[in-house]
């Protein structure tokens, strides 16, 4: 098929693209905004002989971009969408037997290739706007490269973007050739209007829009971080312009019709102000827009593996995104881009938006990898490998949901969960509901929760579900149809005739987020131990129990976004395996004692408890160790001799090293299970800890073969010439012996330990137990400064001997006999 392509910049490199694809399986194409790559490249490929009747698949990051790209290509062909060019997305498909170019969202492509690894009938796959680095795009590319290398050497892969780290991508594609399309369609004048730190973003955007509307011609596209800021900006702009200026929002929650209307050109003689999120950043052209106002902010999802929660965070855009946004102003004529930050701050922006794979819930990815037969993500060609921590959390969740076995392989239940085009938790809910004959209800809830805006924005899921059932929009109808198809695919005999409330079903998706009211109205503790809050004005703030489907905020300050009310009876009926009755030994911090109780609990939520006799044995020791963890190691009553033992071993660790163990607080704290727990089975509390048990525990860390060397290398005492024993102190940098100088008379060599290798640091004290001298060379002291010490001391302590020659004098621990 030959198509007359419009004169756009990318057209100049299409011959080079054709030549590259004749000899290379993959190509990287970098083209600035407005170059025409999204529409011209797929149409150009239709005329390539190697296509051989196969399809071209074009991936777009968003539904709006997919519809717009398909519509523009169909227009160039003078056809309707669904003929030569069609699109395929979650709630809307327009393809036919004639379709040669399919524009699909990235998630749809991932499922296509997972379900048909040979990509039957597909000759080329184009990854558009790859710089956005969505999880689905990264995974889709890794799968496509795997298919290309193992099954389909004839498959062509083209990675395209306006702003792309071409060297990394080319290397991933086996040093694929890189083609560069130069120049925008029209020049863009980039200006800077700094926003002060105390000026709200919507106020700055309004100020800039009003000024630009007055001084410039054409429609305006303003980028704001989210729906809330768009709403507030629209409210502030209302009434500022005449009827010839329309104010139009553009964000993900809007219906397809509302989104499509936002990108249509303004009627002749009117102007349009489009208030958009990053949804308008790439792959679409809004005719008539020649002014861009960029807040410099975007809202990105950030997944916290420790909580299992994805929260939205407002952050600065990358330089790549800023360039994309500015480029929107020059798509159809010369334009102006006004950035609401200082020009010098641009250099400090990150080069690219962080890839989603580094900050996303990876449970769905891991499930798909298991379906693909890959246990190690490193065996596929990912630009950035998924983090180990997040993978471990994802694997743990999938095992808990019954989707993976202990070896990481898909279970029969896991196959059912993966077959549903839903997030893992919601798919698990649908599978569990099907076993109870409630698949239709569960699938309806799941689809509603995955499609923003369906059923409104109420925090109460029951309320949203009622509204969703009665919505008559095309989107709502399509969503309900999708839910019916999902439910039909879950074959199970009906067990229960009655319908279940949403909360009873959502427990199967979020068992760790079942929450009990604790601490007053609106304050809840979840089964995972985290706290969550519902605004006191909400009806659900008074609920005794909730199951929370969505929340935001950091650990310790999490705000509920979507939840349903439940009761304990519903938990017992629908999730009986999650409720545990057990005997617990625990540390009571107030009394510093170990206690026991019988509890019925769900995670950390305790439903019932009854006291039991004080425990003994390992359970008591573990509870006592928990007490030490709460109070710190300083709470342990180490006797002096045990403190010295610890110091002696610690000295040998510092001076000799391994295998002598570290005796620092930090080291012992991390090894409580080794030296503390096995020896404290009889202690009923902190005060019951015995010194001999502590000593045994510390010695257990010393390898048995070394224990006999302890006394030789680090003796507890030094025996003076008088026969008296004096403790050696090991708590400093070197062993210290504090001793009255008279007890060392007659010693001609310096006292040592460690088979004579290490001299003791001598702290020589007077009869009044005050330090006289510190020395590491006793013979040198006798021959040197003793004379001065003797002159000073014998006047102070005349009853004690101060001989001229201490090296040859008799040692003594007594004063002179009377009369001498």
Burial 521-539 (b: 16+ CB within 10 A, else e): ebebbbbbebebbbeeebe
Give CATH 3.40.50.300 domain extents, the chain.
Answer: 9-180, 188-357
pLDDT at 613: 92
Q: Is the pLDDT of residue 783 over 50?
A: yes
pLDDT at 495: 45
Report the DSSP beta bridge partners of residue 300. 313
Range in 223-232, 281-290, 352-361 with the lowest mean pLDDT: 281-290
* pLDDT (mean) for 291-317: 84
Q: In what order do the strands lie in the sheet with 593-602?
A: 580-588, 593-602, 605-612
Q: Is the pLDDT of residue 727 over 70?
A: yes
Q: Which fold has domain 9-180?
A: Rossmann fold (3.40.50)
pLDDT at 303: 80
pLDDT tens per residue, range 512-563: 999 999 988 999 999 988 899 999 999 999 999 999 999 887 766 688 999 9
Determine the Cα angle at 171 with ends 167 and 172, to 5°: 120
Contact 103, 139 (CB under 8 A): no
Report the DSSP beta bridge partners of residue 302. 311
Q: Is the pLDDT of residue 508 over 60?
A: yes
pLDDT at 125: 97
Tokens at 489, concatenated: 């695919």
pLDDT at 818: 55
Contact 531, 524 (CB under 8 A): yes
pLDDT band for position 306 (50/70/90)? Answer: low
Tokens at 64, concatenated: 């709006």
Tokens at 41, concatenated: 């490249």
pLDDT band for position 657 (50/70/90)? Answer: confident
Range in 22-26, 180-184, 725-729 with the lowest mean pLDDT: 180-184
Percent of the chain topping pLDDT 90: 67
Q: How many Å is the Cα radius of gyration of the chain?
A: 38
pLDDT at 814: 82
CA distance 758 to 231: 77
pLDDT tens per residue, range 314-327: 899 999 889 889 88
Percent of the chain topping pLDDT 70: 96
Range in 119-133, 308-322, 486-500 with the lowest mean pLDDT: 486-500
How far from the centroid of its chain's Cα atoms is residue 417's Cα? 23
Q: Is the pLDDT of residue 494 over 60?
A: no
pLDDT tens per residue, range 326-382: 888 887 789 999 999 999 999 999 888 889 999 889 999 999 999 999 988 999 999
pLDDT at 465: 95
Range in 17-26, 451-460, 587-596 with the lowest mean pLDDT: 451-460
Range in 172-186, 201-215, 690-704, 741-755 with the lowest mean pLDDT: 172-186
Q: Which residue has the higher pLDDT, 182 or 404?
A: 404
pLDDT band for position 497 (50/70/90)? Answer: very low
- Cβ neighbours of residue 177 closer than 8 Å, sequence gap 6 or more: 20, 24, 27, 28, 170
Of 162-176, 179-193, 408-422, which has the strongest mean pLDDT?
408-422
* pLDDT (mean) for 746-770: 89
Q: Is the pLDDT of residue 493 over 50?
A: no
pLDDT at 213: 95
pLDDT tens per residue, range 597-624: 999 999 999 999 999 998 889 999 999 9
Q: Is the pLDDT of residue 9 over 60?
A: yes
pLDDT band for position 499 (50/70/90)? Answer: low
CA distance 135 to 132: 9
The H or E element that residue 246 is part of is: strand 245-250
* pLDDT (mean) for 702-725: 90
Rounded alpha-carbon distances, angstroms, from residue 521 to 518, 538, 542, 682:
8, 10, 6, 43
Strand 188-192, strand 335-339: pairing: parallel
pLDDT at 712: 87
Burial (CB < 10 A; 0-12, 13-18, 19+), residue 248, is buried
Rounded alpha-carbon distances, angstroms, from residue 400 to 313, 415, 515:
28, 15, 18
Q: Is the pLDDT of residue 496 over 80?
A: no
Mean pLDDT of all residues belonging to the chain: 90
pLDDT at 817: 62
Contact 426, 397 (CB under 8 A): no
* Helical segments of 451-493, H only: 461-470, 474-489
* pLDDT (mean) for 794-809: 89
pLDDT tens per residue, range 513-522: 999 999 889 9
Q: Which residue has the higher pLDDT, 163 or 732?
A: 732
Handedness of CA 150, 155, 156, 160 (dihedral sign): negative
Contact 281, 68 (CB under 8 A): no
Q: Is the pLDDT of residue 776 over 60?
A: yes
* pLDDT (mean) for 435-445: 90
Residue 404 DSSP label: B
Domain 188-357 is classified in which CATH homologous superfamily?
P-loop containing nucleotide triphosphate hydrolases (3.40.50.300)
* pLDDT (mean) for 245-268: 85
CA distance 510 to 571: 12
The H or E element that residue 550 is part of is: strand 545-552
CA distance 610 to 603: 17
pLDDT at 410: 93
């Amino acid at each position: 098929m030959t198509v007359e392509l419009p004169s756009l910049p990318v057209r100049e490199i299409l011959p080079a693209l054709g030549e590259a694809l004749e000899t290379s399986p993959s190509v990287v194409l970098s083209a600035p905004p407005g170059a025409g790559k999204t529409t011209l490249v797929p149409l150009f490929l239709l005329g390539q002989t190697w296509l051989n009747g196969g399809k071209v698949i074009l991936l777009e990051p968003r539904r709006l971009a997919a519809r717009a790209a398909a519509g523009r290509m169909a227009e160039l062909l003078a056809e309707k969408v669904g003929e030569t060019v069609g699109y395929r997305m979650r709630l809307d498909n327009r393809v036919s037997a004639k379709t040669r170019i399919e524009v699909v969202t990235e998630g749809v492509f991932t499922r296509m290739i997972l379900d048909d690894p040979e990509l039957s009938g597909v000759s080329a796959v184009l990854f558009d706007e790859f710089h956005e680095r969505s999880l689905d795009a990264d995974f889709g590319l890794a799968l496509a490269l795997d298919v290309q290398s193992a099954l389909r050497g004839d498959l062509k892969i083209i990675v395209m973007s306006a702003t792309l780290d071409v060297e990394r991508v080319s290397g991933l594609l086996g040093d694929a050739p890189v083609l560069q399309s130069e120049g925008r369609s029209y020049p863009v004048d980039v200006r800077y209007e700094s926003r002060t730190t105390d000026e709200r973003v919507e106020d700055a955007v309004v100020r800039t829009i009003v000024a630009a509307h007055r001084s410039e011609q054409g429609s305006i596209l303003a980028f704001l971080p989210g729906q809330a800021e768009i709403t507030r900006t629209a409210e502030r702009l209302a009434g500022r312009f005449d009827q010839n200026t329309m104010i139009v929002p553009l964000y993900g929650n809007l219906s397809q019709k509302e989104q499509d209307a936002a990108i249509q050109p303004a009627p002749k003689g009117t102007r349009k102000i489009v208030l958009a999120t990053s949804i308008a950043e790439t792959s679409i052209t809004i005719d008539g827009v020649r002014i861009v106002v960029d807040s410099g902010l975007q809202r990105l999802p950030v997944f916290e593996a420790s909580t299992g929660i994805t929260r939205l965070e407002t952050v600065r855009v990358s330089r790549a995104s800023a360039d994309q946004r500015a480029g929107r102003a020059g798509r159809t004529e010369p334009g102006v881009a006004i950035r609401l930050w200082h020009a010098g701050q641009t250099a400090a922006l990150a080069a690219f938006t962080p890839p989603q794979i580094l900050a996303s819930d990876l449970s769905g990815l891991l499930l798909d990898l298991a379906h693909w037969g890959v246990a190690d993500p490193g065996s596929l060609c990912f630009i950035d490998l998924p983090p180990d921590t997040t993978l471990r959390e994802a694997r743990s969740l999938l095992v808990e949901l019954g989707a993976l076995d202990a070896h990481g392989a898909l279970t029969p239940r896991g196959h059912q969960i993966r077959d549903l085009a839903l997030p893992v938790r919601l798919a698990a809910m649908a599978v569990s509901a099907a076993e109870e004959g409630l698949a239709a209800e569960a699938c309806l809830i799941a689809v509603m929760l995955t499609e923003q805006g369906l059923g409104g924005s109420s925090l109460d899921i029951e309320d949203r579900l009622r509204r969703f059932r009665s919505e008559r929009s095309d989107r709502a109808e399509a969503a309900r149809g999708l839910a019916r198809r999902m439910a039909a695919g879950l074959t199970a005999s009906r067990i229960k005739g009655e319908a279940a409330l949403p909360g009873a079903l959502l427990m199967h998706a979020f068992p760790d987020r079942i929450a009990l009211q604790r601490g007053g109205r609106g304050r809840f503790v979840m089964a995972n131990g985290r706290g969550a809050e519902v605004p006191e004005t909400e009806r659900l703030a008074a609920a005794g129990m909730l199951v929370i489907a969505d929340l935001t905020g950091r650990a310790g300050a999490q705000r509920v976004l979507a939840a349903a009310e439940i009761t304990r009876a519903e938990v017992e009926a629908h999730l009986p395996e999650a409720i545990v009755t057990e005997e617990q030994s625990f540390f009571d911090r107030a009394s510093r004692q170990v206690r026991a109780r019988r509890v019925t609990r769900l995670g950390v939520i305790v439903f019932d408890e009854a006291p039991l006799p004080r425990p003994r044995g390992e359970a008591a020791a573990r509870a006592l160790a928990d007490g030490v963890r709460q109070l710190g190691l300083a709470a342990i009553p180490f006797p002096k001799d045990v403190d010295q033992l610890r110091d002696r071993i610690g000295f040998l660790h510092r001076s000799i090293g391994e295998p002598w163990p570290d005796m620092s607080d930090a080291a012992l704290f991390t090894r409580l299970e080794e030296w503390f727990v096995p020896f404290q089975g009889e202690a009923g509390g902190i005060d019951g800890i015995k010194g001999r048990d502590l000593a045994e525990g510390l010695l257990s860390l010393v390898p048995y073969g070394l224990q006999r060397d302890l006394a030789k290398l680090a003796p507890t005492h030094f025996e003076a010439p008088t026969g008296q024993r004096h403790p050696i102190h090991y708590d400093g940098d070197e062993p210290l012996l504090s001793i009255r100088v008279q007890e060392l008379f007659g010693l001609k060599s310096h006292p040592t330990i460690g088979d004579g290798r290490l001299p003791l640091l001598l702290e020589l004290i007077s009869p009044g137990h005050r330090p006289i001298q510190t020395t590491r060379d006793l013979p040198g002291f006798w021959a040197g400064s003793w004379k001065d010490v003797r002159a000073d001391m014998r006047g102070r302590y005349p009853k004690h001997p101060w001989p001229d020659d201490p090296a040859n004098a008799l040692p003594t621990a007594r004063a002179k006999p009377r009369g001498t």
